[in-house]
Each structure stands twice: as structure tokens, then as C-alpha cells.
Amino acid sequence: MPKASTYKANSVIYFQGDVGDKIYILQSGTVSLNSNDIETGEEIHDHIKTGEFFGVKSALGKYPREENAVVLTDAAVVVFSVPEFEQLALSNTRIVMKMLKVFSNQLRRLHTKVSGLMQGGTQSNPEDGLFRIGEYYMRKKQYAQAVYAFNKYLTYYPSGRHQADAARHAETAEQFAQKYGSGKGPSAPGFQGGSHGGNEANGGRGAGGGGGGGGQNLSDSAKAYYEAVSSFSREEFAKALEQFKQVAASGGDEEYVLKSTFEIGRCLFGLERYDAVIKHYTGLIQKFPKLPDLNEALFYLGRAYQESGDTARAGSFFKKILSMEDVDEGLRRKVNKAVRALEGN
């Protein structure tokens, strides 16, 4: 049973740091909860109103009291043990609801303060944050999760600044999720981690989309391109070759035309048509000296020479790649492996 209890003025019901399992209701008199503000160290005096509970959080949460409960004028209180308080709460949900509101307010305020003081203090705004979650899942090939995040973005920010990218990524993620499943398949364009020359020239896409009515055309190119990528990943090189050739000749979205042109070489390599590989990439490099995937093209050139027995030429291509600055780790490993194979011969 809850117990009635009285305290004289200037006495203390509990001290900061005490571990107590009692919860109190003030019936009459004045009680002040005294503590120090965490941020400023300033003293805080919080006067309890008649009929108000105190000591609830520390008792329920089983942690030390956070303030001194000081009696200012003679006070009468009712003291509950935790089980007694729970009994009361179960039969009187209004009390709990009221406390829940107070607590969740406190928690929200604390949370905001803590976030503000975290590393850098530059918390992402929710719009950018949500978009970046989608990008993260794209990079990790967790396509279902990426679809979720981008779709949420589009729901909440239908005219947000990442709207176009989110819509495009959501579509790609959807396709990849169906085709390959989670964690499998090639990296989505723009999200290559290793094998594909790193940063794609995604900037070019915005310009291409500006041509009015280009939207439909663009997604056709994209779809055809992914079909081809899919064939390639199943090692159906002949089929992939035809598909990439079609995209390359379609005159559609420039980004996918270029990508497909590049992939033609990889298909030829898969088909062991090394002379054709050499011809293809040599021509491509002459035509586009600033090819985004230049490193990768040089690698296939080297490999094609190696397979055709021209180890001197192969070696000089590999050396050139290794001497370049922005070679990503994946490619560097592949080149080193090829060099070791050369030296083994």
C-alpha cells in the first residue's frame, strides 16, 4: 500500500546520485527539485505542484536521482513503490498518457540538443539525408532498400531538388532488384565501386534530358542498355554484343550510347576476338581521348595483346595504367595480377 509521509521544511526527500525505488505525489506544502543545467552548470529550481508526481523517471528507469528534492515548507507526500505505481498506472491510463507526453517532449528536446553537438554539428537536413540513404543502398547493391528510400523521397519531396535523380535511381534500382536480386549483379551506373572506372560522367545526363520529350527516348536507351548488361553478366557475350551494338547505333541518350560503345569491347574480349578488341578500343581512344573509362580501355587493350602473345605491348599498356593517378583499387589489382601472369611466362 502507498504510504502517507510528512517532511519538515528544509529537509531533503532524496539527494542527487541516490538510487531510489520510490515515486512520490505531493499532497501539500512546497517541494523543489534542484539540479544543475548540464550545459551551463546553472542551478535549476523546479517547483512541484500539488498533485504532481516526482521521482518517476529514476525509479522506473532504475538509475540515480538527477536532482535534490528539497522541502521548502512542511510537506505531505504519498510514497509509492514501483509495483504500487504500476498498479495505479494500469487502472488510470490518463496519468500514463500525461507522463508519456511530458517524457516524449523531454526526449525530443534532448535528442535535438545531442544531434546539434554531434560531429561537425552539420546534421544533414532530412531531404538530403533521405536521398543519401538511397544512394548508400545503391552503392551496396541493396536494391530493394534503395527503391524504398528513393520512393519515400519522391513521396515526401515530390518537387525536391533531387527529384529527377531519385526518380531515375528508383527506376534503375527496381530493374536491378528484379533482374539480379539484392547484393548481386553489376553496379548500377553511377554507383560503381571498383570495376568500372569509378566516377561516371553523370553530369552529361542533365544536358541530354533538356532536349524536350527526351525522357521517353532516354528510358528506352537505358532499358536496352540494362538488357544488354544483363546478357553480359550471364556471359552470353554474343547476345550482349548485338544488344550493345543496337544501343550504340540507336542515336538515343548519349550517356548510354557511350557506355554501350565501351561495352562492345568487353563483349569482344569475352568472345576471345582479341584483334577486334584492339581495333575497337584503339579507335575509341582516338575518337574520345578523354574517355571516362580510359583506364579500363587500356586494360582490355593490354589483355588483348597479352592473349595474342604480344607480351611487350601488353606490358607497356599495363605499365601506363599503373603510372596514372586516378586508377581505382579494383582495376589496379586486376592490372597487377595481369603483370604477374606476364612475368610468370
Contacts with other proteins by CB under 8 A lie at 36, 38-41, 56-58, 60-61, 63, 66, 86, 89-91, 93, 96-97, 99-101, 103-108, 110-111, 113-115, 117-120, 124, 126-127, 129-130, 132-133, 136, 139-140, 144-145, 148-149, 152, 156, 182
35 φ/ψ angles, rounded to the nearest 5 degrees: -150, 180
* CB-nearer residue toward other proteins: 60 or 322: 60
* CB-nearer residue toward other proteins: 96 or 207: 96
**Residue 7, amino acid:** Y
75 CB contacts (<8 Å, ≥6 apart)? 6, 7, 26, 27, 28, 29, 30, 31
The distance of closest approach from Cβ of residue 155 to other proteins in the complex, given in angstroms and rounded to an integer, is 9
DSSP string covering 295-340: HHHHHHHHHHHHHTT-HHHHHHHHHHHHHSSS--HHHHHHHHHHHH
Nearest to 148 by CA among 127, 133, 126: 133
* CB-nearer residue toward other proteins: 28 or 104: 104
The distance of closest approach from Cβ of residue 120 to other proteins in the complex, given in angstroms and rounded to an integer, is 8
* CB-nearer residue toward other proteins: 47 or 98: 98
The distance of closest approach from Cβ of residue 25 to other proteins in the complex, given in angstroms and rounded to an integer, is 16
Q: What residue has cell string 531515375?
A: 168
The distance of closest approach from Cβ of residue 129 to other proteins in the complex, given in angstroms and rounded to an integer, is 4
The distance of closest approach from Cβ of residue 149 to other proteins in the complex, given in angstroms and rounded to an integer, is 5
* CB-nearer residue toward other proteins: 151 or 282: 151
HEC readout, 179-210: HHCCCCCCCCCCCCCCCCCCCCCCHHHHHHHC
* CB-nearer residue toward other proteins: 74 or 328: 328
The distance of closest approach from Cβ of residue 161 to other proteins in the complex, given in angstroms and rounded to an integer, is 14
SS3 category, 64: coil
The Cα 337–Cα 27 span in angstroms is: 81
* CB-nearer residue toward other proteins: 43 or 235: 43
* CB-nearer residue toward other proteins: 145 or 295: 145
206 CB contacts (<8 Å, ≥6 apart)? 164
The residue count for the chain: 345
153 CB contacts (<8 Å, ≥6 apart)? 127, 130, 131, 134, 160, 162, 163, 166
The Cα 302–Cα 311 span in angstroms is: 9
The distance of closest approach from Cβ of residue 314 to other proteins in the complex, given in angstroms and rounded to an integer, is 34
SS3 category, 59: helix
The distance of closest approach from Cβ of residue 135 to other proteins in the complex, given in angstroms and rounded to an integer, is 10
